[in-house]
Amino acid sequence: MVKVKVFDMPEDAKRPAVEAPKTDNKAFKDIVESRRSVRFFSSDPIPQSVIDDCIDSALLAPNSSNLQCWEIHHVSDSEKKSKLAECCLGQPAASTAKELFVFVTRPDLWRRNNQLMLDEFDRRGDMPESAYQYFKVITKMAYTIGWFGMLAPIKWLFFNLRGLTQPTPRGPLGKWGMKVWGHKSTALASAHFMLAMRSHGFDTCPMEGFDNVRVKKLLGLPRGADVTMVISAGKRAEGGIYGDRFRFDKSLIVKTH
């Protein structure tokens, strides 16, 4: 097994603070608090410039190893939109939406994107050796699952044996593990997209109530792809929000250790 020293930076305590870009906390809080899952939309259009900006914001979301194994499918064709709404069980959040977006995880593209990362490092020419080694060795060890996932049991045994003596990442293992891995990053992109829409004065509704098989067929997605969620977007219409927002008591959710 190749042993690679990935983290060769100075200890945290030795790092001086640096000035980060200024932000507007109140404006962000307003966006977060005003975001609601809207079930009925008006016929007001969303300018293409807004759509483009929100997609750009989604693509800036944090993601595992910066491999960006996601796709955003903007379904603008009227016939496909109608069929997609049917795939979403005809729920009004889909059938009344001005625009529909499908956020897709593509863990099957990790090798291509891994090489794109190395190509970018070569283009920059000043990346630390540890970064090269991460994408030359570590990612390949972590994300290779073998034909038909045959490496999954071997990796499971290795990770768990190693974990007896030292902290060890235990996954992802097999195709299902890679799907979970991909869904995490794609969900982060989805959240960025919805908050960006709200910042422009538009609303969204993330939907999990859809026929995954039919959506994949409609979009022509390969077997290695999977739909994370369908997001509808537009201007909220009267009655589009079902009551006041409700969240469980914080004590049930937040744990301090």
pLDDT digits (tens, 9 = 90+) for 98-154: 999 999 999 999 999 999 999 999 999 989 999 999 999 999 988 998 887 788 888
What pLDDT, on a 0 to 100 scale, did the predictor assign at position 178? 94
Give the separation between CA 83 and CA 125, rounded to whole angstroms: 47
Q: Where are the domains of the chain?
A: 35-108+174-240, 111-162
Render pLDDT for 166-210 as a digit per residue (tens, 0 to 9). Answer: 998 888 988 999 999 999 999 999 999 999 999 999 999 999 999
Q: Report pTM.
A: 0.92
Render pLDDT for 141-170 as a digit per residue (tens, 0 to 9). Answer: 889 988 877 888 888 888 888 889 999 888
What pLDDT, on a 0 to 100 scale, did the predictor assign at position 132? 92
What pLDDT, on a 0 to 100 scale, did the predictor assign at position 1? 45
Length of the chain: 257
Render pLDDT for 1-53 as a digit per residue (tens, 0 to 9). Answer: 445 455 555 566 688 889 999 999 999 999 999 999 999 999 999 999 999 99
In CATH terms, 35-108+174-240 corresponds, of 3.90.1150.10, 3.40.50.2300, 3.30.460.10, 3.40.109.10, to 3.40.109.10
Per the CB < 8 A criterion, the answer to whether 101 and 229 are in contact is no
What pLDDT, on a 0 to 100 scale, did the predictor assign at position 11? 60
Whole-angstrom CA distances from 257 to 167, 250, 254 are: 19, 15, 10
First to last CA, the chain: 36
